Structure 1
Amino acid sequence: MAGSSHGHTPAAWTGVTIAFIGFCVSGAFMVLAQPVGFWAGMAIVVVGGIVGWIMSAMGMGQPKDAHQTFQDALEQSQAAVSSKS
């Protein structure tokens, strides 16, 4: 996955950051025994997923053909290594 830049996009970083903040909010309110705050934090987690999806749809995510491009490059490099042996 490192060669395909999986998750290294503004959409992924933003969505995960918002969801992590929501997770922290939910955890804090769970310890404080405040159900409303817990559910507010869970709503923030959902908002993180929606924001990431919207940003990806706006073109800030990984291109659809990136996986295929990575697979093609990997096959070419493996073929080059095996032909040298």
Structure 2
Amino acid sequence: MSNPIDDPGHGHSPAAWTAVTIMLLAFVVGTYFFVSHNEIGVYVSAGLLVVGLLVGWLMAKLGWGVKGPKYVPKGH
């Protein structure tokens, strides 16, 4: 059993969900552009991947991360 105080929350926060959604979209679109041999689209998708990482980091810093003041965990 894990101690609820030590439990990191496994990323169930708005910051994590937003970052993962943006990065998943970047991978899907990037894969499409890669298969269709669109080099510029692949680079734009790589940039979108970095944007997703930065958005997640920024939202966590603004309090929407697991230990942030704006995050309210849901009961099970």
TM-score scaled by length of structure 2: 0.77
One-letter identity of the residue aligned with 2:64:
M
Structure 1 segments unaligned to the other structure (5+ residues): 65-85
Q: TM-score, normalised by structure 1?
A: 0.69
1:63 CA drift (Å): 1.3
Larger Rg: 1
Unmatched tracts of structure 2, length 5 or more: 69-76
Instruction: Indicate the structure with greater helix content.
Output: 1
Which residue number corresponds to residue 27 of structure 1? 31
The percent of aligned pairs where both chains have the same amino acid is 40
Corresponding residue number in structure 2 for 1:72: none
Structure 1: which 4+ aligned runs deviate by more than 3 Å?
none
Say what the alpha-carbon RMSD is for the aligned residues: 1.6
Is 1:50 paired with 2:54? yes
